[in-house]
A and B are shown apart, each in its own frame.
Chain A
Amino acid sequence: MSYIVIEGLHKKYGHSTVLSNIDMRIEQGEFITLLGPSGCGKSTILRIVAGLTDATAGCIQIEGKDMHDIQPKDRQVGMVFQSYALFPNMTVKENVAFGLHMQKVNNAEIEQRVQEILGIVHLTEKANAYPKELSGGQQQRVALARALIVRPKVLLLDEPLSALDAQIRKKLQEDLRAIQRQLNMTMILVTHDQEEAMAVSDKIFVMSNGEIAQSGTPTAIYTKPESEFIANFIGHYNVLPRQVLEKMIGGVLPGDGLKFAIRPEAIHAQAMEGDICFSGVAKQSLMSGNVIRTTFEGECMFTMEQLHQRGQLFEIGKKYECYVAKEDVIALS
């Protein structure tokens, strides 16, 4: 049996359905991400798991124990909030030690465990600072330390990095993953950032309109999107209708999918054996870090991405032949 089981979860607010038939199985030590646009219900799942919101229907089990009648304080579930929710009247040390005081751990052990966890999150020298004296990144680390120190069975992370700037966010993503592996802790992260989800997760649940649209490893989600929503949400996929794509390649595509997705980096300018060929006029080239994203206009608009160092610069207004491997043309349901 899985470590965490969520079965048939429904949540309604009045007549509005927020979650519909959510089923999830999570193994111990897994880093799970709930990925989706704002308002898709991902944070509601976290709150229901934590016991802060009641489900309309369905059940949650942690280590085989039904959580239905168990109070939040007794669930052994930790949570890091988007706004961190640090206690403003307490120092970093007091914030981190709060959970241990509630568990009535003796003072010597509290001191030792607080020092240990502050060391892990690199905040030992800020132990006596108040939350408002810390940067956003430091506050996030305190929130993480405070949640981790009580050794919860599962740690819920509700967009904890969304308020931070890109550089700090990337550093903290790495730290978060490293800590999770070090402690072998089960974590569920909520985010709307697909790059963040790809960077840290063992498994991703992509959500749309209160339902799970697709789940799988980051690689599976990225390389095999099952629907147009996933293809659009997870990356810069080219989503093309069957008729348009068949007209572009001058042939018939297999299967009965009405739309097809092609990753922009799967399109290239050098022909390889068995590739599908189509043409387009280069309209725009944008550099995004080490990637050049070029938009072409053929039977429809499509985008190609190349690494800058090996990338071929396209002349705007000129027609080019483009190629893609057959297996990179993904039929969508």
Chain B
Amino acid sequence: MKKRGFADFFFLFFVLYLVLPIVATTLYAFSSKWNKTILPEGLTFKWLATLFQDAEFIQAFGRSVLLSGGAVGVAMFVIVPAIFVIVLYFPQYEKFIQVAVVMVYSFPGVILAVGLIRVYTTVGVPMILVVLGAYVIGILPYIYQGTRNSLRSVDARQLLDAAQLLGASKRQAFMTILLPTVYPGLFAGALLSFSVLFGEFVLINLVVGSRFETVQIYLMKKLSSSGHIASAVVFIYLVLMGLLTFVIALLTKRSKGVTNI
């Protein structure tokens, strides 16, 4: 009984540790004044309204969506087909992808940024494209896991074989059978990658900086000028991430049941 009480206490402590900053930030985004009291003295939408009237924020938001979405889009067109081919037809080469996946995790952002700057500043490639390329590689683990798990869960190779024996070409089998079957997993991987990239700060800040201001750089700037605005930015970011997580959970649940999306 005593042990249980101890465990409950620690559980509660960790929940508070994780939730309290989120709740406090959200409250601060809606508080008119919150300096000397335990709870805000009043609530307001002023900071959110200010934020949405700020063209700089809208542009930063658009850049973040463009950059993250662009990287995910490129990954979908370049990496996903490669993973399909390797998993289905050359499984012996999968070990190389797995090594690449681990390498992505093993490079700290700062080191990666310094490396990219040293290599590409002299080449003449726009640095924003360099970051985009790094992002495409950076989301390899999420894209790879999502795609591979989807393919394995439906025994994709056998589905392709079955479709071909029924008279379908490889392209028809891929488009009519495989893609609709693995699409929920692919989409979940894409959303996860998008949310990870949307929150990325180190690489974009060090390589490009304020020349291409994203939401994270905008947030960094606002932290020193207005805590309320910065909290409002975090709130919007949390809402967006919450929505993405909800959609991912929904897709994952649907893909486990009858896949009739």
Contact = CB atoms under 8 A, between A and B. Distances in A.
Interface in B127-169: 154-155, 158-159, 161-169
Contacts of B257: 132
B172 A85 contact: no
Contacts of B154: 88
Interface stretch (A25-33, A95-103, A167-175, A259-267): A95-103
A102 B166 contact: yes
A85 B159 CA distance: 5
Interface string A141-156: 0000011001000000
A35 B155 CA distance: 25
Contact of B258 (A52, A71, A88): A88
Interface stretch (A73-81, A190-198, A301-309): A73-81
A89 B168 contact: no
A87 B165 contact: no
A59 to B, nearest CB: 20
Interface string A123-153: 0000000111100000000000011001000
A73 B258 CA distance: 27
A168 to B, nearest CB: 22
Interface string A45-74: 000001010000000000000000001110
B53 interface: no
A81 B158 contact: yes
Contacts of B177: 87, 89
B259 interface: yes
Given A81-B158, A88-B258, A89-B259, A72 B165 contact: yes
A50 B164 CA distance: 10
Contacts of B167: 73, 99, 102-103, 150
A83 interface: yes
Interface string A265-295: 0000000000000000000000000000000
Nearest to A133: B258
Contacts of B165: 50, 52, 72-73, 75, 77-79, 147
A147 to B, nearest CB: 8
Contacts of A88: 154, 181, 258-259
A108 B102 CA distance: 54
A131 B257 CA distance: 10
A311 B47 CA distance: 93
B164 A87 contact: no
Nearest to A156: B165
Contacts of B155: 83, 85
B115 interface: no
B91 interface: no
B258 A98 contact: no
Given A102-B167, A130-B260, A87 B161 contact: no
A140 to B, nearest CB: 14
Given A85-B161, A89-B260, A133-B258, A98 B166 contact: yes
A87 B167 CA distance: 14
A232 B32 CA distance: 87
B199 interface: no
A79 B163 CA distance: 10
Contacts of A83: 155, 158
A89 B162 contact: no
Contacts of B168: 73, 98, 102
Nearest to B183: A89
Contacts of A77: 165
Contacts of A131: 258
B180 interface: yes
A285 B155 CA distance: 45
A98 B260 contact: no
A98 B163 contact: yes
A131 B166 CA distance: 18
Given A102-B172, A130-B260, A132-B258, A85 B164 contact: no
B202 to A, nearest CB: 40
Contacts of A78: 165-166
A87 B258 contact: no
B192 to A, nearest CB: 22
Nearest to A98: B166
A99 B181 contact: no
Contacts of A132: 257-258
Given A85-B155, A88-B258, A72 B162 contact: no
Interface string A81-93: 1010101110000
Interface of A: 50, 52, 71-73, 75, 77-79, 81, 83, 85, 87-89, 98-99, 102-103, 130-133, 146-147, 150
12 contacts: A71-B164, A77-B165, A78-B166, A81-B158, A81-B162, A83-B155, A85-B162, A87-B162, A87-B181, A102-B166, A103-B167, A133-B258
Q: Which 9 A-B pairs have the closest CB atoms?
A: A102-B167, A99-B166, A85-B162, A130-B258, A89-B180, A85-B158, A72-B164, A88-B259, A132-B258
Interface of B: 154-155, 158-159, 161-169, 172, 177, 180-181, 257-261
Given A87-B159, A150-B166, 8 more contacts: A85-B158, A85-B161, A88-B154, A89-B180, A89-B260, A130-B258, A130-B259, A131-B258
